[in-house]
Every structure is written in structure tokens, then in C-alpha cells.
Amino acid sequence: MITKQDIEHYIAKIPPTPEAVRETLRFLQAGEIPKAAKAASEDRALLSYLKELVNRPVYGFRNEIKDVAQIFMVLGVSGSLQAVYNYLLQVLSPKEWHFFFLNGKSFGDLQAELTVAWNKILSFLDVRDKEIETSITLLPSAVIISEALFNAHKNDVELIRSAKDIDLNTILIRLSGYSLFDIAAMIAKRWEMDEIVAQILKAASGKEVQSLEEEAVRYGKWMHLLLFYIFSKPEYIDAGLNDFLEFHIEFVEDIYEDFTKVMEMES
């Protein structure tokens, strides 16, 4: 069985944020892009990651962007915050994946696709809130923790799956009492993010949302549908991520048509 202590053990492995990255986040939170760019330039690993991230095809920039100040300008404050949080997760991600069929590139692609699609959704909803915008960065973090947990308890996972065809999130709950979304919310608290972030992540499960704030449930519906949409792509089905979700159509019926329109929009 997976205990809460096991989960906390893996979350505790999240490395301390380097000083340059902390400074970058602090300046971005204050909306001071030039100072954030100067701080980011002091961390070579962060700088390299930002260049690689923003030049991925999913972002759609025609010309290569190399300068960190330019990166932050084109991404904006919230987009830059998302990028830096994604960097912190990249540091946490395993060098080799064993349970899910992922690698550094495909995990980075997943982060980028979720970020770009979430920003399209929030633009459609006319939402400009840094906390809500950065909430999407936490879902990949729970995938990393789940990779470690499932890999360490592979026999238990396979035993449950052989008895009944159920999703990995349900298996995670049976083994530990916590879902993918609960784990993401735990990491949000570790990073001292606003309470609304943890609530949105919990609402994204599509289950037991009655105790959550109405605003969190509203965004949780879009996140639930987005996660199902992204994980249903062939590359993530092959990676085993599609097995993670139990899709609750009744939870998202009222936004389904709008979601389809948003995903069809040009970036």
C-alpha cells in the first residue's frame, strides 16, 4: 500500500528553489519583467530551459527567440510565471521514466501543450489572474509523483488492473487514499500558491466538488475537459497517460460546445 508518508516523501524531494529562480519568481509576481529577466539570466539551466520551451512548435513563434528579456515580453507576466514553474517541474522529473512511456522531450511537450491550451481557455473566459493561470503547471507535477509511486508498487498496480479494467487515478486512490488531483494540490501548498489553485486542481477531478468554491468548480470543469482532451492524443495514449482519467461527461456538459470551439481556434 501507498501511504500518505510515501507521497510526502516524494513531494519532499522537490529540490529547493535556487536563489536566481526565487528572485525571478518574485519579480514576475510583482510584474517587473526587466528585473525578472536579469535574475533569470543568472541561472544557466533556467535560461537554457526557457529558450528551448518558448521555441517549441506549439507556441507558434516564427522566429527563434533567444534573449530572456524578449522571452518574458512575448510570454507576458503570467506566461513567464508558468514557464518558470514548468522549469521547476522539469528539474523534479526523472531522468528515465519506467511506468509511463515518457522522456524529457515528451514530458516537456506535455507541459507546453497544457499551458498553451489553458491560456486559450482563459483568454476565451476573459480571465486575467496569475494564480488561476499558473494552476495548470501543477498537473504534470502529479504525473511525476505518480510515476515514482506506481513504479515502486508495480506489482500492486498490475494486480489491481488484472482483476478489473479501471483507470489509474482510481488505482492511486485505492492504494493511497489520494488522487492525482489531491497530489497536485499538495504540491501547490508546498509552493505556497493561493488556496484557489488547490481548489481548482481538486475540482478538475470531476468528483465530490460540492464542498469547493463555485469559482474553483467553474475552472475545474475546463481543466477536467482539457486534461481528457490532451491525454486522448495518440502520443499520450501510447505513453499510458490516457489510462489516468475517468471522464465525467455530466460534469462538463454545460461547457462542452464552448470547449470544442476554443480548441478549434487558431493560437
Give 158-192 pLDDT, tens digit per residue: 888 887 778 888 888 888 888 889 989 988 888 78
Q: Are 86 and 137 within 8 A, CB to CB?
A: yes
**pLDDT tier at 237 (50, 70, 90 boundaries)?**
very high
**pLDDT tier at 11 (50, 70, 90 boundaries)?**
confident
Residue 147's contacts (CB-CB under 8 Å, 6 or more residues apart) are 94, 97, 98, 99, 100, 102
- Provide the pLDDT for residue 208: 80
- Provide the pLDDT for residue 87: 87
Interatomic CA distance for residues 68 and 51, integer angstroms: 8
- Provide the pLDDT for residue 37: 94
Distance of CA 191 to the CA centre of its chain: 14
Indicate if the pLDDT at residue 267 is higher than 60. no
Q: First-to-last CA distance in the chain?
A: 44
Q: What percent of the chain has pLDDT over 70?
A: 97
